[in-house]
Amino acid sequence: MASARAHLPAPERTAFAVLATLSLCHLFNDLLRALLTFVFPVAFATTFPTEALRGHADLRLLPVGFVLATALLFGAHLFWNYAVRHYSSASS
C-alpha cells in the first residue's frame, strides 16, 4: 500500500518527515508525559473544590486563583492574537 504522502514531490516529503520527527512530544519520556498530561491537571482541578466541600478550604486562595486564571486567560488571548497576525498559509 502506498504512503499517503507518496504523491508529494521529494522536497515536500522530506520537509514533512523532518517536521513530524521534531514533535515536542518526543522530548519527554512516557512517564513524564503521562504525569504532565493526566496527573497534574487533575490534581489542580480537583484539590480546591474537594477541600471546599470538606470545609477545609483556605478561602484566601480564591482571589489568588481568580487572578491567576484571569492572567493566564489574558496571556493566552495575547498569544492567540499574535499568532493570528503572523500566520502565513503553507499553501499560498
10-residue averages of pLDDT along the chain (92 residues): 54 54 64 81 81 86 87 95 89 68
Q: Are 48 and 64 in contact (CB under 8 A)?
A: no
The per-residue pLDDT for 74 is: 97
Task: Dump the DSSP string for 52-79.
Answer: HHHT---TTHHHHHHHHHHHHHHHHHHH
Task: Give residue 18's pLDDT.
Answer: 55
Rounded CA-CA distance 72/89 in Å is 28
Neighbour tally for 28: CB within 10 Å: 13
